[in-house]
Structure 1
Amino acid sequence: MHDKENELKFKNDLYNAKVIYQWEAIGRNFGHTLRWIVSIGVPFFGYSLLMLLIQDMAAVPVLFFIGLIMTFVIRYLFLADEHICFYLTKKGIHFTTEQIIPEMAYKVMRGFAWFGVAVSFFAVTIIGPMAFIGAGACALLSFKMTGFKSVPRSSFVYFVDEYTVFDIQKENTFSIISHPHDIYDSCYRLYYFREDRDEIKKQLLQVIKKSHYKIINHPDDIYDYAPFEPSEITKS
């Protein structure tokens, strides 16, 4: 809801409300194969471009090693699955999202960060104060990354009046769209495991005061039902 004066009150009421139902799910922004294609393709394009510029075959092993590291960094840090915990209340839904990243990936990144700190200070001692500007910035960034770890993110959607609940079965997600759209809260990604679908649907339709329920195959199909205007229907 865009009324900032009431938003804090809605949020406090939501987080203080009794949890009626909760569930967990795995969120994925892309398919498994596509994520590996992107993770391999981006570094390959980068070091191929560098090879064309420097034209030195002696650099191939180094660039390949860097590209290999970047492949795993992109796949397991930037394109990781997400573990999501949803908490349904009469006021709305609040949920936490945390990336599913192997602890080894964090150890590797922290190791590179400490290495960056050491290299930066070594550059200052060898080159002198003139290197402090660049090396100091690098050292500061690296030092911040020495504590690199997974941090859960919190989000919420609060129920105000009338909503359409879209069941996007192809993606195992629910989308909750408000009437009127873009004035009240809407949520496009409520993931679920297939075995939990029927119970989540039941709980959502019981909690939302005015609700429509639609089964669709793709998120873009949502807009076939627009515009989302208020109506006088009773809960279905």
Structure 2
Amino acid sequence: MNLTEEKISQIENAPILFEWETLVPLGPNMHKFRLIFSLTAFFFLIGCGIYADELIFFTILAIFIPPTFQFFVGADYQYHYYLTRYGYYYTSYQKVPEFGYKLTAIFMVLGVIVAIVGTMVIGPMAFVGGGMFLLTGILGKGLPLGPDMTKHYNAFHFEFKYILFLVIETKKIWLTTEPMKTDYTICLYYSSKYQKEIISVLTKILSSSEIYRVKTTDDWAEHPRFKELKENKID
């Protein structure tokens, strides 16, 4: 939803009523998938090394590739929410180890050095090797300086009544309006540690007395109250 600068300023400048952080996996059962993939990749590469009689090369790959996927490509997202009277704002970024950002910076610097020095020694083909280092850095986690802390905003619309659905499996709070207006539907990731506080503050802000707890997203979609809201959709 596109908000005006005035609305964004109103949300950001209002006193923070509650804030929390939570880690969100890239997908369902991502923790198990990361572990299985890493172990499978490790033993597969070692097997390839034995079969191809290139054990040293494939052992190096087996050492680097599984951790790269475990801690970089498949890393969880870190969400930080700031809840105010008029709405909320949050930051989200893939939570990789701090050394990851330094590593991408090193690859980018090496890429430039290899390209320049190599061109002077062996000619334009050096850009191939240098470009690989540089590309590795660019495809890393954002800028080498650190995670992206861009703020995202969403406003509450008090002309509508909000109905709150708590999806336990995915740790999501869905706020849907009555009658349902899809553009105003809100999804928040909550922290189990602060679940009661978050719900308490939300219900006070929105004067909402309807709270439904469901186990899965499918249960939410099939909930009688949610179906009723969909029937009264006004978009």
Fold conserved (TM > 0.5)? yes
Take 2:40 and 2:151, find their aligned partners in 1: how far apart are those partners? 32
Q: Name 1:14's counterpart in structure 2.
A: 11
Structure 2 residues without counterparts, runs of 5 or longer: none
Take 2:41 and 2:227, find their aligned partners in 1: how far apart are those partners? 37
Checking the alignment, whether the CA contact within 8 Å between 1:25 and 1:192 is kept in structure 2 is: yes
1:61 to 1:143, Cα distance in 2 relative to 1, 3 A: closer
Structure 1 residues without counterparts, runs of 5 or longer: 232-236
Matched residue SS, 2:96: coil
In the alignment, does 2:211 pair up with 1:213? yes
TM-score (norm 2): 0.74
1:192 to 1:168, Cα distance in 2 relative to 1, 3 A: same
1:94 to 1:211, Cα distance in 2 relative to 1, 3 A: farther
In the alignment, does 2:53 pair up with 1:57? yes
Within a 5 Å distance, the mapping from 1:1-236 to structure 2 comes to 1=1, 4=2, 7-29=4-26, 30-41=29-40, 56-58=52-54, 60-129=55-124, 131=125, 134=128, 137-138=131-132, 141=135, 147-160=144-157, 161-179=160-178, 180-187=180-187, 189-194=188-193, 196-210=194-208, 212-224=210-222, 225-226=226-227, 228-229=229-230
1:124 to 1:62, Cα distance in 2 relative to 1, 3 A: same
Q: Name 1:234's counterpart in structure 2.
A: none
Take 1:61 and 1:178, find their aligned partners in 2: how far apart are those partners? 60
The one-letter amino acid of 1:97's match is S
Q: CA RMSD in A?
A: 3.4
Take 1:178 and 1:42, find their aligned partners in 2: how far apart are those partners? 46
Kindly state the Cα deviation for residue 133 of structure 1 after the two structures are TM-superposed. Answer: 5.9
Checking the alignment, whether the CA contact within 8 Å between 2:111 and 2:130 is kept in structure 1 is: no
Deviations 1:71-109 (A, max 9, x none): 112211222233332211121121122443322333344
| Greater CA drift, 79-88 or 144-153 | 144-153
Deviations 1:33-57 (A, max 9, x none): 2222234446777x599x59xx742
Take 1:108 and 1:74, find their aligned partners in 2: how far apart are those partners? 15
Checking the alignment, whether the CA contact within 8 Å between 1:26 and 1:83 is kept in structure 2 is: yes
Deviations 1:121-143 (A, max 9, x none): 344234313x2664565465467
Kindly state the Cα deviation for residue 183 of structure 1 after the two structures are TM-superposed. Answer: 2.2
1:139 to 1:26, Cα distance in 2 relative to 1, 3 A: closer
Q: Percent identity?
A: 20
1:33 to 1:151, Cα distance in 2 relative to 1, 3 A: same
TM-score (norm 1): 0.73
Aligned residues: 220
Checking the alignment, whether the CA contact within 8 Å between 1:169 and 1:215 is kept in structure 2 is: yes
Take 2:219 and 2:169, find their aligned partners in 1: how far apart are those partners? 12
| Greater CA drift, 150-159 or 68-77 | 150-159
Matched residue SS, 2:146: coil
